[in-house]
Structures are given as C-alpha cells and as structure tokens.
Amino acid sequence: MEKKLTHFDTKGNAVMVDVGDKDVTTRTAVATGKIRVNEAVMKAVMAGTVKKGDVLGVARVAGIMAVKQTAGLIPMCHTLFISKCSIEFEINKEEMEIKVICAATAEGKTGVEMEALTGVSVTLLTIYDMCKAIDKRMEMNEIHLETKSGGKSGDFAR
C-alpha cells in the first residue's frame, strides 16, 4: 500500500500538514549520530584542553537549544512544546568516535523525530566547530532515528 504524501496540496505546492484533528499524545524520539576524530582531538576533548572550552558541555547545550528551535529551521515542522530533552555521549577511543544520543519528548499532535535529529546534528556540528582548529578532517556520519513512540502511526524501532 502506497502512503499518501501529506506535505503537498493538490497542485503540488509544499504545505504544512494539518494536525488539527489529531489527538494530543505523548511523543518521544531518540536519534543518534557519530563524529570521527583524530587522536589529537580525542585527547583534547577528554582532557578538557580545547581552547574554545568544554566541548561536550557546550555541544550538549547547543543540541538542546536546537531541539527547541527545530520549527524555525525546518520549513514544514510544527512548533512543539518540548517537555524533556537529553543529549548523551558515548566515547569510543579505539574507533576515535564520539556518539551523540538525543532523546526528545513532547505532548502534542505531531511527533518529535525532526527535533531529535536536529539535536544530534547541531551537537555534532558544535563538536566540529569547537575542534576544527585541531583538525578539519573530522567526519560526521550515521545520523538516524533510533526509536519513536506515540501518535497515529505507532511505534518505530530501527
């Protein structure tokens, strides 16, 4: 069964989806992504010696702020009242990767997948920005939705 695309009107113009008739439910989403760094960046981040400051602390705040501003960045996203947001990090020194996990929750008529994905993306970009003086070859990758719950379409787990 082919899903009907709801972001276009009958003339093919992009529109914001009408969620007026949807029920308010608790919506959650978790997204992840990674940044691959070199040894110098990893050591500086872990030792807290990056000249711009506490990389992971600043990146966490940037990611949370981004979650709250998603509707201002992604044209057809609805403005949501975020009731909870967290940014966590998993450091893999062997692979020289920092994994970012963003979880977002809202009570609303539409999901928070874009918010979680935006949070991960901006967190990764902030790590890059704060460490680019050490190495500009860092790579951000594997940004994706892990889980989502709530709403008419039900739960999703990657």
Q: What is the pLDDT of residues 103-126, one digit of tens each?
A: 999 998 888 999 999 999 999 999
List residues bridging with 118 in a β-sheet: none
Q: Check: CB of residue 108 under 8 Å from CB of residue 24.
A: yes
Concatenated DSSP letters of 40-79: HHHHHHHHT--TT--HHHHHHHHHHHHHHTHHHHSTTPPP
d(CA 39, CA 43): 6
Catalytically annotated residue among 18, 129, 135, 155 = 129
Note if 54 is an active site residue.
no
- State the Cα–Cα distance between residues 158 and 98, nearest whole angstrom: 20
pTM metric for this prediction = 0.90
Residues of the chain with pLDDT under 50: 1-2
In this predicted structure, what is the pLDDT of residue 84? 98
pLDDT of residue 152: 81
Q: Any idea where the domains of the chain sit in the sequence? A: 35-150
Predicted local confidence at residue 9, as pLDDT: 75
Domain 35-150 has CATH 3.30.70.640: yes
Q: What is the pLDDT of residue 53?
A: 93
pLDDT at 98: 98
Q: What pLDDT, on a 0 to 100 scale, did the predictor assign at position 148?
A: 97
Looking at residue 135, its pLDDT comes to 97
Per-residue pLDDT, 6: 67
User: Cα–Cα distance between 87 and 104 in angstroms, integer?
Assistant: 9
Residue 4 confidence (pLDDT): 57
